[in-house]
Amino acid sequence: MKRALPQDTDLLGSISAIKRAAKTALKLARKTHTPCYVVKDGTIINTAERLKKVAESD
């Protein structure tokens, strides 16, 4: 299922901007050893800690 683009021009770049902001926040959290929380399927997850565990298991 393909999503329709927003009709409002202010919203057209919002998804990309949110993704860039999230990537920057995660990068800062890793650098400063602080948590980076996101909500996934209604559950709060510390993304920085989760990615750290994945990296350690490799």
Is the pTM higher than 0.95? The answer reads no
Total residues belonging to the chain: 58
Give, for all 58 residues of the chain, the pLDDT tens digit. 577 777 777 788 888 888 899 889 988 988 998 888 888 899 998 887 766 665 566 5
